[in-house]
Amino acid sequence: MSSEARPFFAPVPKASGWRLFLKTVVARAYPRVIGQQRERSWLFFDVFLSILAVSAYVFVYRAIGAPEEYVGFVVVGGAMTAFWLNVLWSMSSQLYWEKESGNLALYIMAPNSMMAILLGMAVGGIVATALRAAAILLVGSLIFHVQYAVGSLPALAAVFLLTLAALYGLGMMSASLFLLWGREAWHLANLAQEPIYLLSGFYFPVKNLGFWVAVAASIIPLTLGLDAMRQLLFPSGAALGFLTVPVEVAVLAVLCVLFLVAARWLLGYMERMAIREGRLLESRR
Amino acid sequence: MSTPPIYQSTNLPKTLSAAWRSFRIATWLGWQIESNWTDPILFAIYSMLKPLASAAILVVMYGVITNGQFENPIFPYIYLGNAFYIYVGAVMTGVSWAVIDDREHYRTLKYIYVAPIRLPAYWLGRGVARFLTGSFAVLITLAAGVLFLHVPFHPARVDWPLFLLSLMLGVVMLALMGLVLASISLMIAHHFFLIGEAVAGALYLLSGAIFPLEVLPPWLRPLGFAMPITYWLELLRRSLLGDLARGFPTLSGFSNGQLLGILAGLSVLFGLLAAVTYRLCDHQAREKGLIDQTTNY
């Protein structure tokens, strides 16, 4: 080591601007991805048990003599439930949990952007959940011999990524709303499971709910995302689809921008409000 | 030699007294936690929406494929199985969630450990609130089926003693299964807080809740016959539907008495399993220092 080495008390070069933003994203995503690798029980709880739950709906369709394509619809819907659960419990209600555990105040005190924290949560969540969803899709497809007829792989990939962007945008937006709630947050997230499975058509084509119900349900990006993916994955998907794929893609793109902008605005607003009303350290138990 | 504390006593009356006290207080605490976060009206809506949506998923799936043939005997089979299955998720989650809630949310598990209580009795008590809200959800779901979907229900034809006995035995069996999960929860991270619902979702497949076991591949059927929930749901269907329920071949060779005997036997087995699992997991959690861990990543 040279004698001109930096003395130990010299200031550490600090990241700022977009470098700090990126570092924050990576730092918040890191524990999500690594934590999952250290806690291997997710393979059992999140994949194996999920496949069994999805299988139940497959066998209901078989018991009532449904066409085989419906089995594929269930497998794809079942895989996407992993993302919805992740958004609900690890995005929307995460800031509430961070507040309860005392991390939220640290996030706000630290010289970083809260948007970067949320984005890091989203990126980490997407990576970790994509593994689970892929496992459910793969195993489910193999077990039930699901036949896919992918017309355009780039279109499918684009719809999938756009759906995730809009979905996690919704998660980032609702995280700020949840910040203001106490124990209601937990119950409201709990409430948003089965009703959303129903309204977004996780296990059947959403078209069957009627036009206006499907339109209302389209505010959840998974509604149109799932519908578009099924249209691109199955031969009869287009006939059972709600809107055409280009229209659904356009709506998803609008939702994506809308949710991300709203997330940024709401986060600032809620943070100011929470600071003003002294709710950042509040723990209503 | 000093006298052991009351909660470690080998004296049966004292042990039962400590267990009852733990159960009673935990029941009150669980109800407060479950219900006092909002006003009663919102709480009632919340308790109704989730099970009704769950039932509606099956109704839509069935309606889409059969063009709304709700008079077919398979429909009440599916609908009633699904309605009573609400208890499975509610009771198992209610009992097992208390571990994560106390450890990571309220951070009181370590204090509960040093308090003079019987932990399994405490967990069972914490599950009572979910049992009560689950009962409300079952009632609402059944009422919706009878009123809007022509699910056959004639109070005069219901075998009420069989229904009440089966229901009671089944809830005890579910609580014991919840205890097994609660013990396992001592050793897992907080993001598996839905362990009760996840296991309930998995058993949905194997218990013949929403389709006869004959639909399953032959190699999976033995697992279905090993599940106490299978016999419990069959007993409930028989008590409510009578001959209509006997039309499905899965358990038609068994009398009601035999089914009750199997259910009681399997419940005892789960009781033993719960005791062994608790001892093992409690020991491991203490050894590894997991009693006060937080895993919020």
**What are B194-253's pLDDT values in tens digits?**
677 778 888 888 888 888 888 899 998 999 999 999 999 999 999 998 877 777 778 888
Contacts of A195 in chain B (CB under 8 A): 49-50, 53
Q: Does A43 touch chain B (CB under 8 A)?
A: no
C-beta atoms surrounding A164 within 10 Å: 24
Q: Which residue of A has its CA nearest to B217?
A: A59
Burial A115-149 (b: 16+ CB within 10 A, else e): bbbbbbbbbbbbebbbbbbebbbebbbeebebeee
Spans of all domains in chain A:
43-276
Q: Are A169 and A205 in contact (CB under 8 A)?
A: no
| pLDDT tens column, B12-48 | 788 888 899 999 999 999 998 888 777 778 788 877 8
Interface mutation vs chain B, best among A46, A57, A64, most B CBs within 10 Å? A64
Interface mutation vs chain B, best among A52, A103, A129, most B CBs within 10 Å? A52
The answer on pLDDT for B193 being more than 60 is no
Q: Which phi and psi angles does A204 have, rounded to 5°?
A: -160, 160
Q: Does A69 touch chain B (CB under 8 A)?
A: no
Asked if the ipTM is above 0.90, the reply is no
Region A83-90 average pLDDT: 87
| pLDDT tens column, A111-170 | 888 889 888 988 988 888 888 899 889 999 999 999 999 888 999 999 999 999 999 999
User: How many residue contacts between A and B have a Cβ separation below 8 Å?
Assistant: 129
How many residues does the structure list for chain A? 285
Question: How many angstroms separate the CA atoms of B201 and B85, rounded?
Answer: 10
Q: Which residue intervals of chain B are DSSP H helices?
A: 12-35, 40-66, 74-100, 109-114, 119-148, 160-185, 195-206, 221-226, 228-241, 243-246, 256-287
State the smallest CA–CA distance between residue B98 and chain A in angstroms. 14
* Interchain pair B51, A194: CB under 8 A: yes
